[in-house]
Amino acid sequence: MLRYNPEKFASLSESDIGQRIWSFLTKPATIARLETASELGKPAVEGIEEQLLEEFREDVLVDRVKQMVGHMVRQILEQRDWVLDQSDVKVQSVPFSKAARYRRPDWITFHAFRNTKDPRDVVITDRRQNAPLPKDARWTFYATFASPLKAAVAFGVNDTPKLRRQVQTHGFHRVHIPRMLRRA
């Protein structure tokens, strides 16, 4: 059973809208959307924007209500073993303009850069800015990832703690992504 500690949202959370929003946010389908958005590296509330608007219409456009939604979502995800990755992530949508992104505690954030002459030549680092990239090529930013599944499928890295050690020791880890053949 999920619990909500309203703190500074006590009076709003006890109101009719507050009770309805908590009920909505704790539905299994809603939690699945929050977690799916988080697994994709997006702010959690991006997974429920349409449903929030459909259910609560303009009531969810009030700043204090949006703040309470974020507060509730954080407590829901933390009780399901997610941790705050970054707050105030820009979201260009309705009803949110900024939101929090969550990750699993064992996830490590990495940044991938592609060789401009060979896009299958990829360097993985732990820094996007001023990353210590190899000097033998020009590199362009390609992607940020934290999920061990994304590391394995997209970059062939099956041991993210080992990848982290390599990056900490050498500044980067270089991989060559094999060409994927399509079935006929």
The pair of structure tokens assigned to 167 is: 């990056």
- In degrees, rounded to 5, the angle at the alpha carbon of residue 41 between the alpha carbons of residues 38 and 47 is 45
Q: How many CA atoms lie within 13 A of 42 on its CB side?
A: 16
User: What is the DSSP secondary structure assignment for residue 73, as one 8-state letter?
Assistant: H
150 pLDDT more than 90: no
Q: What does the H/E/C string look like for 115-131?
A: ECCCCCEEEEECCCCCC
Q: What is the pLDDT of residue 182?
A: 65
Residue reference for tokens 């080992």: 162
Which of residues 108 and 50 earns the better pLDDT score? 50
pLDDT band of 19, cuts 50, 70, 90: very high
The pair of structure tokens assigned to 143 is: 């992607």
Q: What is the pLDDT of residue 178?
A: 83
- In degrees, rounded to 5, the angle at the alpha carbon of residue 86 between the alpha carbons of residues 35 and 159 is 70
125 pLDDT more than 90: yes
pTM: 0.76
User: What angle, rounded to 10 degrees, do the helices at 160-170 and 148-155 form?
Assistant: 80
